[in-house]
Amino acid sequence: MSRLRLAGADGLQPMPGGLLDGLELALQARALSLHYAERRVLDQISLSVPRRRITALIGPSGCGKSSLLRCFNRLNDEIADCRMDGEVQVLGVDAYAADVSVPDLRRRVGMVFQKPNPFPQSVGENVAFGLRLAGLRSRLELDDRVETALRAAGLWDEVRDRLDDSALRLSAGQQQRLVIARALAVEPEVLLMDEPASMLDPISTLRLEELMVALRERYSVLLVTHNMQQAARVADYTAYMQDGRVLEFDTTDRIFTNPRLRGTEDYITGKL
Amino acid sequence: MLRTGTRHAPRRRGDSGLWLAAGAVALSLAALIALLFVLLQQSARPFLPAAVAELRWQGAAGPQQALAAIVREDADELIARASEWQRRGGAYLRIARADLLERTFPPDALALRLADGRELYLRGDAHALAALPSAAGLALPGMPAELPLRRGELVEILAPNQLGPGGRLRVATQRAWAFVSGSPGGDSGSAGLLPALVGTVVLVLLMSVLVMPLGVLVALWLHEYAGRGALAQLLRAAVANLAGVPSVIYGLFGLVLFVHGLGAGLDALFHADALPSPTWGTGGLLWSALTLALLTLPVVVIAVEEGLARVPAGLRQGALALGATRAEMLWRVVLPVARPALLTALILAVARAAGEVAPLMLVGAVKYAPALPLDGEFPYLHLSKQFMHLGHSVYDLALTGADAQRDLGEAHAAALLLLIVVVALNAAAIVVRNRLRERSRELSA
């Protein structure tokens, strides 16, 4: 499966020297191509995501950001007719090796979706879902881990008395933080966030961004966003994608103040 | 072009469509109400006590006289029911209006009902008669001497001409209740629907228990695992077409496969010496339930598949992203969310199965099996036994009864009861489904 090619060999821009020097890598894609049936959505992508940093993926709609995200937790496996070439490493291990357990991989690489997707169960059961899957049975420990996760997601104070209520009664912003808590409960190392704030109002978005910055202490975050201000506010590094390729990758500061490519600049400034 | 001026409210297009649709709804409602009305009216007939008249009319051989219950009368003729001294079906009199000489309603006219369903019309004192010890012989004017009767043989003593509307209704209610809660006496002619009622309910419940797991598993395989391969497409087409197969064909299939194949095989293998109890090689409750389960399987599969398709993709991905295997995702998220759809499937299956008669006549429903399929005797649920069914009772009473006037009314009563059973079963499932829906309603928002 892993056909290794050197980055840059196919006309890709090489990584700017020294950008991620000294940083551990959480995720790494090399020469990653993805086809849905005959349609190519990712084209020879190489990207490195550092640990305990927030990396933003920006780019026009349909450029393959979400598809790339789903390569890292193998959610594309569920799509019939989906073919992947190249190499994906998660925390230094080949994620597509034959001996990799996909459920275990997904427990280490949590994901938050664009639309809040709490299960139609109680608030507490939602957060405990992944823990139960992992085989945790002790009521005490479950309660403890649920509380920890809800605190980490900044939701505990709002729902501590409503743990047995239906999760569907929460507001959209609360639901999105609930599914983040649900993802955090299984203690992943990486968090993939696919436009997590696109359905939220400005106040909820602000809270979510504060949460992301707080999560940076312990988690490596790969964030897909259409909101330039959001990328500029929270991300340490930013990658610009277009037509299934990563065209530019740099610190967020440099991407937003001094992009190397004309395309990046046009997109950021809204000319594209 | 810039349009100015007053804005019109959007014109109500398709008014003719509205009228057509409303007309169709009104027609359907009218048909339903007419059906209920006919059922109610016809089924009340055998239970409402008829007035008993002293009739004198011009017969072929001179004037005749009889005490009889008026069954029906119109402008041309009068149909009355005379005392049935011997059991041979109703002793009906048909008298043209022109021949009728005299008709009086004596207040002391009695309508006596015997345990075997016969009715006698005599004159006497109802209270005195009721107070007699059961061994006492009856001595009333007009009784043939060669047919002695004892008080104990009477199950009902009425003076119908003395009853007001309230009294008639009370008697009708009592008789209807006795009919519904009683057991048939076989050759003795007394009627009762209890075994058929219990048989119908037990059969439908058993069918539900059999068809739901199977149907859900088939739907899960088709929708979640099979993909779009040739085999899956073939199976889907087969399921869709099976839904349209006439039910009697399922009955024939059940007879060959279950009764003659599986049942006879079981008998030969395991307890050839213990026959005839239990006998699996004849029609029975289990084989009927299995046949109905096959009959309703396509309905369940199609409804469940639709329900699975409506489960939001976000929930599936959310579960997978948390490390759920495919089976865990289906079991813990998809199926719970699809529960209202499962109940819809059950409702459709029950509605289809509860009214079926044709296949049951081949695999286990019989005219007369007074023992209930469910009782206090081990093994409590008698799966191998033949049973009675309300649908079969309707057919039987309507076509094969000895007393057409009364049995047709009783057939309507059985039909009404069957309708009530189906509606009650459906209503129960709908209540449960709506409760579940309230919980998952916000999902679709």
Q: Which domains occur in chain A, in start order?
A: 25-268 (3.40.50.300)
Q: Tens digits of per-residue pLDDT, A122-166?
A: 999 999 999 999 898 999 999 999 999 999 888 999 999 999 988
Q: Tens digits of per-residue pLDDT, A61-94?
A: 889 999 999 999 999 988 888 899 999 999 989 9
Instruction: Taking each helix axis as running N to C, give the angle between helix A172-185 and helix B313-321, from 0 to 180 degrees, rounded to the nearest 10.
Output: 30
Query: What pLDDT, on a 0 to 100 scale, did the predictor assign at position B105?
Result: 92
How far apart CA B141 and CA A215 sit, in angstroms, is: 104
Which residues in chain A have their CB less than 8 angstroms from residue B337's CB?
A: 119-120
CATH 1.10.3720.10 residue ranges of chain B are: 194-444
Mean pLDDT of A238-243: 93
Cross-chain CB nearest to B322 (options A106, A120, A166):
A106
Q: Do B317 and A78 touch (CB under 8 A)?
A: yes
Query: What pLDDT, on a 0 to 100 scale, did the predictor assign at position A9?
Result: 37
For residue B137, the cross-strand partners are: B150
- Pick left, alpha or beta for residue B414 (phi over 0 → left; psi -120 to 50 → alpha; otherwise beta): alpha
**What are the pLDDT tens digits along chain B (445 aa)?**
455 555 555 555 567 888 899 999 999 999 999 999 999 988 888 888 888 999 999 888 888 888 999 888 888 888 888 888 876 666 788 889 888 888 899 988 999 888 777 888 988 888 888 888 888 787 777 777 777 788 888 888 888 888 888 999 999 998 888 888 887 765 445 568 888 899 999 999 999 999 999 999 999 999 988 877 888 889 888 988 988 899 999 999 999 998 888 888 887 777 666 656 667 777 788 999 999 999 999 999 999 999 999 999 999 999 999 999 999 999 999 999 898 899 999 989 998 888 888 999 998 888 777 777 777 676 777 777 888 888 988 888 888 766 777 788 888 999 999 999 988 888 888 888 888 877 665 544 4
Give yes or no for A73 touching B (CB within 8 A): yes
Cross-chain CB nearest to A119 (options B227, B315, B320):
B315
The angle at the Cα of A129, spanning A128 to A135, to the nearest 5 degrees, equals 85
Measured torsion, CA atoms of residues B302, B307, B313, B317, in degrees rounded to the nearest 10? -90
Which residues in chain B have their CB less than 8 angstroms from residue A80's CB?
A: 227-228
- Asked if A196 and A176 touch (Cβ cutoff 8 Å), the reply is yes
Range A113-139 burial, b when 16+ CB lie within 10 A, else e = bbbbbbbbbbbbbbbbbbbebeeeeee
Cross-chain CB nearest to A80 (options B227, B314, B321):
B227
Q: Do A119 and B324 touch (CB under 8 A)?
A: no
Proportion of chain B in helix, strand, coil states, percent, rounded to 5: 55, 15, 30
- Using DSSP, state whether A25 is helix, strand or coil: strand
Query: What pLDDT, on a 0 to 100 scale, did the predictor assign at position B281?
Result: 72
Q: Do A133 and B333 touch (CB under 8 A)?
A: no
Residue A44 has pLDDT above 70, yes or no: yes
The angle at the Cα of B371, spanning B370 to B372, to the nearest 5 degrees, equals 110
Q: Do B321 and A119 touch (CB under 8 A)?
A: no
Count of other CB atoms within 10 angstroms of residue B442: 13
On whether ipTM exceeds 0.90, the answer is no
Count of other CB atoms within 10 angstroms of residue B20: 11
Give yes or no for A166 touching B (CB within 8 A): yes
Q: Do A183 and B332 touch (CB under 8 A)?
A: no
How far apart CA B414 and CA B420 sit, in angstroms, is: 10
Mean pLDDT of A97-110: 92
Query: What pLDDT, on a 0 to 100 scale, did the predictor assign at position A198?
Result: 85
CATH of the domain spanning B194-444, picked from 2.30.110.10, 1.20.1250.20, 1.10.10.10, 1.10.3720.10 = 1.10.3720.10
Count of other CB atoms within 10 angstroms of residue A154: 17
Q: Do A119 and B319 touch (CB under 8 A)?
A: yes
Model pTM score = 0.79
Sheet with B109-114, strands from edge to edge, namely B119-123, B109-114, B154-158
Q: Do A117 and B317 touch (CB under 8 A)?
A: yes
Strands (E) in A143-189, as ranges, are: none
Among all residues of chain A, which has the CA nearest to that of B318?
A: A117
Q: How many helices (H) and strands (E) does chain A have?
A: 10, 10
Q: How many angstroms away from the CA of A153 is the closest CA of chain B? A: 16
For residue A111, the cross-strand partners are: A192
- Using DSSP, state whether B261 is helix, strand or coil: helix
Cross-chain CB nearest to B321 (options A80, A110, A166):
A110
Query: What pLDDT, on a 0 to 100 scale, did the predictor assign at position B217?
Result: 95
Which residues in chain A have their CB less than 8 angstroms from residue B333's CB?
A: 119
Q: Do A120 and B336 touch (CB under 8 A)?
A: yes
How far apart CA A44 and CA A34 sit, in angstroms, is: 9
H or E segment and range at residue B67 = strand B62-73
Query: What pLDDT, on a 0 to 100 scale, did the predictor assign at position B188?
Result: 45
Query: What pLDDT, on a 0 to 100 scale, did the predictor assign at position B170?
Result: 92
- Pick left, alpha or beta for residue B348 (phi over 0 → left; psi -120 to 50 → alpha; otherwise beta): alpha
Q: What is the Cα A151 distance to its own chain's centre? A: 20
H or E segment and range at residue B230 = helix B230-242
DSSP letters of A93-108? EETT-TT--HHHHHHH
Residue A4 has pLDDT above 80, yes or no: no
Q: Do B321 and A120 touch (CB under 8 A)?
A: no
Query: What pLDDT, on a 0 to 100 scale, did the predictor assign at position A14?
Result: 44
Query: What pLDDT, on a 0 to 100 scale, did the predictor assign at position B225?
Result: 87
Rg (CA), chain B: 30
Look at residues B182, B209, B212, B217 and name the one whose alpha carbon lies nearest to residue B196. B182
Q: Do B322 and A129 touch (CB under 8 A)?
A: yes
Q: How many angstroms away from the CA of A190 is the closest CA of chain B? A: 12
Asked whether the bond before A259 is cis by omega within 30 degrees of 0, the reply is no
How far apart CA B81 and CA B92 sit, in angstroms, is: 4
